[in-house]
Amino acid sequence: MLNWDEPLTSPAPVATEKATTPPEEIADHGADVSTPGNGEDTRGVTDTGHAVVPESDVTRMDPAEAAKAIAALGMKPVNPDDKRVVNGLTDVNQLAPFKYPWAWEYFLNANRNHWTPLDINMAQDVHDYHHKLTLEERHVYENVLAYLTTSDILAMRNIGLAVMEKMSAPELQIYQARQVYEESLHTWTYQHCIETIGLDQGEIYNRYRVVPEINQKIQISNRRLNSILRPDIDLRDRAELENFIMAYIFFAAIFEGSWFYNGFTPIFALQRRGLMKGTAEQLQYIMRDEVMHAAFGIKVAKTILQEEKVELDPKTLRDMWDEAEAAESAYAGYILRDPILGYSREIHTEQFRYIANRRARNLGLDAPFPGAENAVPWLDEQANLRKEKNFFETTVTEYQTGGALKWD
């Protein structure tokens, strides 16, 4: 039997003796009354002054009487048409009927995509890193991991601490809870790679603090997160609502939809030459998850815009895209200060612009970087995992395909 204080140890035997409760205490049990200073009896009244019918009384009534008692409390069945993404007044504990069945489908699909980093063999990666990678390629590999390790924790905090509690439809929260788990899984994956390769963890994890080009992207993201992490936010306030939507769009369309999507590409460039294939395979699974996160976030943001009748300020959007591009360009200049075979800073930055245009169109917005070209046409293939051999090389498993998702 588990010991719930120390789950890995057996519980010590505890001597117990039966407690006796005086009859008068039993009679009063469950009816503890806090009486205000004026001596008024407040039994059966809530803090707001509404009448309360004790549950035990309701269960003793016949159905007709119980229905009347519940009606007296102002309770009525949830109408899914009354649900909203934010600022809803329906019972957030009641999952169905759904107003947003697509959110439930995201949850089901995510659970079909289950994987862990322990499933992937990293033996060849250890050999590649220590015996095949050039100094320039090691620089790329290490700094991509240095950025991603911090970023996924930030993504986890954004969804888990700032976004979920503001959703007023439980089908949205349930997928976001899965998303929090997946961000944790991604962080575990980067740690698994760092640990398996034998990199200095303290040095890698601290790079986001000491490398300005990595730190800049983290600070931009932290600023967005902190603006919606405050406990006093009221989304019925128009300015607060617009700021929340902009933060949500940033994390969906830029942070996960563009920076992450483009951020795996340097490792995929190594994979295409037969190097660091175990790491790249794990990043493919992460990329598939991130495609779903971005698509879900974009759909949620569009729904909020529609329900709350919000029109975004064009200058605010323009500033967001420009800041993101400048940060990504500086980051590319650092990790690819010396190009590697088949990949360069120019390719990386142009691909960011191309992906950002696609995310903007998904949102129904104008492309921020007209004329940007698809510099890495093979990148979308990395998110498409229709068939993969399982990790024991015995069967072929059908996987959901992030790359095949429709962004609209």
Per-residue pLDDT reduced to its tens digit, 374-406: 999 988 877 665 434 333 333 334 444 444 444
pLDDT > 60? residue 46? no
Label residue 245 by pLDDT band (50, 70, 90). Answer: very high
What whole-number distance in Å separates Cα of residue 390 and Cα of residue 370? Answer: 41
Q: What percent of the chain has pLDDT over 90?
A: 59
Average pLDDT in the chain:
81
Please state whether the peptide bond connecting residue 97 to the residue before it is cis, i.e. omega within 30 degrees of 0: yes
The single-letter code of the amino acid at 28 is D
Label residue 82 by pLDDT band (50, 70, 90). Answer: confident
The pLDDT value recorded for residue 232 is 87
Q: Is 46 helix (H, G, I), strand (E, B) or coil?
A: coil
Measured from the Cβ of residue 333, the count of other Cβ atoms closer than 10 Å reads 14
The pLDDT value recorded for residue 147 is 94
Q: Is 178 helix (H, G, I), strand (E, B) or coil?
A: helix
DSSP string, 280-298: HHHHHHHHHHHHHHHHHHH
Among candidate residues 35, 36, 70, 76, the one with its CA nearest the CA of residue 54: 70
Give the domains, in start order, of the chain with CATH numbers.
101-398 (1.10.620.20)
Q: Which of 32-36, 234-238, 306-310 has the lowest mean pLDDT?
A: 32-36
Q: What mean pLDDT do residues 299-328 have?
A: 96
Label residue 66 by pLDDT band (50, 70, 90). Answer: low
Dihedral Cα 278, 283, 286, 290, nearest 10 deg: -170
Report the run of H or E that residue 389 belongs to, with start and end. strand 387-389
What whole-number distance in Å separates Cα of residue 55 and Cα of residue 75? Answer: 14
Q: Is 343 helix (H, G, I), strand (E, B) or coil?
A: strand
What whole-number distance in Å separates Cα of residue 327 and Cα of residue 331? Answer: 6
Measured from the Cβ of residue 29, the count of other Cβ atoms closer than 10 Å reads 9
Give the chain's length. 408
pLDDT digits (tens, 9 = 90+) for 146-185: 999 888 888 888 888 888 898 889 999 999 999 999 999 9
Sign of torsion over alpha carbons 265, 270, 276, 277: positive
What whole-number distance in Å separates Cα of residue 353 and Cα of residue 168? Answer: 34
Q: Which one is predicted more confidently, 289 or 72?
A: 289
What whole-number distance in Å separates Cα of residue 208 and Cα of residue 352? Answer: 20
pLDDT > 70? residue 47? no
How much is the pTM? 0.76
Give the residue ranges of DSSP H helices in 233-383. Answer: 238-249, 261-263, 265-271, 277-307, 314-335, 345-362, 379-382
pLDDT > 90? residue 190? yes
The pLDDT value recorded for residue 65 is 75
Measured from the Cβ of residue 166, the count of other Cβ atoms closer than 10 Å reads 18
